[in-house]
Structure 1
Amino acid sequence: MTLVAGVDSSTSATKVEVRDVDTGALVGRGAAPHPATRPPRSEQSPDDWWAAFEAAWSRAGTPSVAAISVAGQQHGLVVLDGQRRVVRPAKLWNDTESADDAAALLDRLPGGAAGWAAACGSVPVASFTITKLAWLHRVEPESWGRLAHVLLPHDWLTWRLTGGLTTDRGDASGTGYWSPIDDGYRFDLLALVDDGVLWESAVPVVLGPLERAGTWEGAVVAPGSGDNMAGAMGIGLRPGDVAVSLGTSGTVYAVSDRPTGDASGAVAGFADATGRFLPLVCTLNATRVTDAVRRLLGVDHGTLDELARAAAPGAGGLVLLPYLDGERTPNRPEATGVLAGLRTDVTREQLARAAFEGVVCGLLD
């Protein structure tokens, strides 16, 4: 029996699944949590990702596999020095401290938002890697002086497996400095952050969908990708299909045969993991919202579901604006949540339903 393994390194945890390559049968599974984060500063040590991977791998049975691939949370900034040591904790996709830097970058490129959409398919907001680089350059000059390599979370985990600094076109397209339109890095955009860095040697090699990143314990290591790109590939998304994904973030995405660029910034023009393109809308607030309400109500996930189902649609007029951790779409990095329509007869059921309706309506917007 030939086994393959998939690794999902998300914001909250690392999950491993091992399957029979011929039948698809699940052979092993394991998971381990990551340290919780609290935006506006949302940071994790990459070493914690590796510890979580090792724990999850052990819980999956420490299998002998023929191939392995890593999917990771998009946009996070991992900076290594010349000895490939992590310079500082990784700033994650939902860290909004770089909001001012995102606004400044818009002003530095001729055409502003439209210029960015034409250059790399997306208008950078605080989530994007390039804004986090600009933040590091502005706020931590000592860390900036040690910068030798810039990676994404999935890149770093692949490097731990193979020893090579690689990425793929899907995850690279979420940086704000790799263009699905041009199918390559835009070093002119990185020069807007610092034109004194030799960026060509700082960024990882972009592998094609069928290229090998290297080997690990005898297993072929695939290029891997960002979590949304891996999700699209995993469910066999085709042009004309639309997927909705709810995790720490909420995403709506589709596969396209052509690159896209939206100057409004609402739709990010990503690449996918197969050679096509992945226009995507992302909100910062999804299951963290329902988790917060669950915690306030003092119930488990199943009971929260039951409470929400018991309330009528519309939650009796109770409305939760779910921007608890700021928001990416629309671009409101300093926003907070709002609970409106409270009356003296409010019920726990209405609050539970308002949480779910707030998340869903945020995506529908």
Structure 2
Amino acid sequence: MARPVLVAGVDSSTQSCKHITVDAATGEVLRSTALPHPDGTAVDPRRWWDAFEGVGATRLQGIAAVAVSAQQHSTIVLGADDQPVHDAILWNDRRATQSALDLRHEYGQDRWLRELGMVPTAAHPVSKLRWLSHHEPEAANRIRRVMIPHDWLTWGLLGQQGEPMTDRSDASGTGYWSPSDAEYRDELIQLALGRSLKVPKVLGPADRAGITSRGVVVGAGCGDNAAAILGLGAKRGEAVVSIGTSMTVSMVEDIHVNDPSCHVADMANACGGQLPLVATLNGARTLTAMAAMLRLSLGEMEVLSTAAPNDAGGICFVPYLDGERKPLLPESQGALTGLTRRSMTPENLARAGILGLACAIADAVEDLIGAGLVVDTVTLIGGGSKSRSLRQAVSDLTGRTVGWPEPREYAALGAAKQAAWALTGELPRWDRPNYTLIHPTASREWVPAVRNRYSAASKRIFGAELH
């Protein structure tokens, strides 16, 4: 029997670096390793390279092709010697909020939406460049090149030889590349920093970034959201909710989205189409925070929540614990409302924690629908998706069937699929994972009250700030 052709996928996420080895013909994961990343919202990118090397992503014995996915938006700035001149500022760092608002005003919000399909937030590299120019002028003056983690790791894998490469998905998240025109907007880099910078060449999804010194084909790579969609094999009408450090909701589409509410970004996917995406800062950590407050494990909180009434006895949890990106409330805090002597039970608090995150997901699904997209089903992936109570709550609040695929590292799997594509020239037709399906419960009379309570609490607490 002939040996299988092996490809590798690497996902350099916020929390860790995962490396998987996959049978290129079947998509079967044969080996998997992972190492943690440093915590924080600003990190020396060389620490990411240490983890990349540590999981074996530079050795690749017996591997025919590899591709890299990584956290989106996190910004690496390099000097004339191609070494970092500042810590990489991560996507969830809020320091560039005012810079983003200034850029919106200076270029015009309608113009951002029309030409870029998004408006800047603190997450986007264009905003971070503006912040550096105003707050770290010495470092800003030394910047010659700007990159995103997957670009930088791919370039390092190729020995930093030749021109750095990126792909449409990560380029579309910079704030200075237009998905509709498929070109960089140098005037926006100049608006942010005051001058032009070197940026990576944008590859197509099946293109090769190069070949390593050991003869391994290197695929274009992509951002982690696009990689997860690719690894999952998402279908049209399937809203994919990734619940990790943050929470994102995205879909496979061909059309460009122009959302006047500014909640849905017109991102690109890893197959040549679009990835309309809603991003929030608060994801699975809202559940761990509630569990910690109750002095419970996540499993214990899950059990406790099932003993509460569906509406948590009227308690509403607004989960803006780390500020928020959608809605734009960078300095916000979380809130509990509806507290009475009768409602203040551990069971109700546990249930309110579940409902708070579920309402945020339901809001994001409504944002996609409001932007003209059709959502037939909802798929939950990531660490937070393990909660069966959350899965049922999302199904009930959205009125849609919720699928939970078997747990896998879907971003790394998407990168491996892209590696196989670069190797053979054909997108692999790997089997979709097995799904557990959850349907809305027959009795959902409590849903409108919970949704209205969540919306009213957000508006009452944050008032005019809520946008």
TM-score (norm. length: structure 1): 0.92
| Aligned equivalent of 1:129 | 125
**What is the correspondence of 1:297-316 to structure 2 with a 5 Å cutoff?**
297-316=294-313
Note the 1:156-235 alignment, pairs <5 A.
156-162=152-158, 163=160, 164-195=163-194, 197-199=195-197, 202-216=198-212, 217-235=214-232
Matched residues in 2 for 1:348 and 1:159: separation?
A: 51
Q: Which of 8, 12, 35 matches 2:11?
A: 8
Which amino acid letter does the alignment assign opposite residue 280 of structure 1? L
2:285 matches 1:288: yes
Letter aligned with residue 329 of structure 1: K
Could you say if the C-alpha distance between residues 212 and 362 of structure 1 is closer, same or farther in structure 2, counting changes exceeding 3 Å?
Answer: same
Contact 1:80 1:150 in 2 (8 A): yes
Deviations 1:50-93 (A, max 9, x none): 222233338x9965311111111111110011111111111111
Counterpart of 1:210 in 2: which secondary structure?
Answer: coil
Distance 1:54 1:299, change over 3 A: farther
**Given the superposition, is the C-alpha separation of residues 51 and 360 from structure 1 closer, same or farther in structure 2, using an over 3 Å criterion?**
same
Shift, 1:244, TM fit = 1.6
Structure with larger RCO (C-alpha < 8 A, sep 6+): 2
CA deviations over 1:292-338 (Å, ceiling 9, x no partner) = 22333333333332233333322222221111111111111111111
In structure 2, C-alpha distance between the alignment counterparts of 1:62 and 1:270, rounded to whole Å: 31
Greater Cα shift, 248-257 or 306-315: 306-315
After TM superposition, give the deviation of residue 153 of structure 1 in Å: 1.3
For 1:139 and 1:363, locate their aligned partners in 2 and report how far apart those are by CA, in whole Å: 35
| CA offset digits 1:153-202 (Å, max 9, x no partner) | 1111112211251110111101111000101101122221134x233xx1
Cα deviation for residue 36 of structure 1 reads 1.8
Task: After TM superposition, give the deviation of residue 238 of structure 1 in Å.
Answer: 3.5
Amino acid at match of 1:14: C
CA–CA distance in structure 2, aligned partners of residues 53 and 124 of structure 1: 30
Is it true that 1:89 corresponds to 2:87 in the alignment?
Answer: yes
SS in 2 for 1:35: coil
The residue that corresponds to 1:139 in the other structure is: 135
Task: Say how many residue pairs are matched.
Answer: 355
Relative to structure 1, is the Cα distance of residues 44 and 335 closer, same or farther in structure 2, using a 3 angstrom cutoff? same
2:21 matched to 1:18? yes
Q: Give structure 1 regions of 4+ aligned residues with deviation exceeding 6 angstroms.
A: none
Aligned residue in 1 for 2:43? 44
The one of 142, 148, 160 aligned to 2:144: 148
**What SS does the aligned partner of 2:99 have?**
helix
SS at match of 1:192: helix
Q: Residue in 1 aligned with 2:353?
A: 355
Contact 2:186 2:196 in 1 (8 A): no
For residues 98-117 of structure 1, what are the structure 2 equivalents within 5 Å?
98-109=96-107, 112-117=108-113
- Are the equivalent residues in 2 in contact too, given 1:123–1:262 (CA < 8 A)? no
Mapped partners of 1:239, 1:257: distance in 2:
10
Gaps of 5+ in 2: 364-467
> What TM-score, normalized by structure 2, do the two folds share?
0.73
Q: Which residue of 2 aligns with 1:33?
A: 36
User: What is the 5 A alignment of 1:48-63?
Assistant: 48-57=47-56, 63=61
Aligned 8 A contact 1:169 1:207 in 2: yes
RMSD in angstroms over aligned alpha carbons? 1.9
Q: For 1:125, give the aligned amino acid.
A: T
1:328 maps to which residue? 325
CA distance in 2, matches of 1:321, 1:303: 21
Same amino acid, percent of matched pairs: 44
Maintained 8 Å contact 1:113/1:265: no
* DSSP 3-state at the match of 2:275: strand
Counterpart CA distance in 2 for 1:300 and 1:15 is 25
Give the corresponding residue for 1:319.
316
| C-alpha distance 45-295 of structure 1, shift in aligned 2 (>3 A) | farther
Separation (CA, whole Å) in 2 of partners of 1:318 and 1:29: 42
Residues 298, 218 of structure 1: CA spacing in aligned structure 2 closer, same or farther, 3 A cutoff? farther
Aligned counterparts of 2:123 and 2:83: Cα–Cα separation in 1: 24
**C-alpha distance 306-47 of structure 1, shift in aligned 2 (>3 A):** farther
Contact 1:122 1:263 in 2 (8 A): no
SS where residue 47 of structure 2 aligns? helix
Shift, 1:252, TM fit: 1.2
Distance 1:230 1:118 in 2: 26
Give the CA deviation at 1:344.
3.9
Cα distance in 1 for residues equivalent to 2:341 and 2:131: 45
User: What does the per-residue CA deviation read over 1:275-294, in whole Å, with 9 as the maximum and x for residues that have no partner?
Assistant: 11111111110112112223
Q: Alpha-carbon deviation of 1:105?
A: 0.3
- The alpha-carbon deviation at position 348 of structure 1 amounts to 2.9
Task: Give the SS at the match of 1:213.
Answer: strand
Larger radius of gyration: 2
Mean Cα deviation higher: 348-357 or 220-229: 348-357
Corresponding residue number in structure 2 for 1:247: 244
Q: 1:355 is paired with a residue of what secondary structure?
A: helix
Q: Contact 1:259–1:271 at 8 Å: present in 2 too?
A: no
Residue aligned with 1:118, SS: helix
Q: Secondary structure at the match of 2:347?
A: helix
8 Å CA contact 1:98, 1:132 repeated in 2: yes
8 Å contact kept, 1:310–1:349: yes
Change beyond 3 A, Cα 1:61–1:158: closer
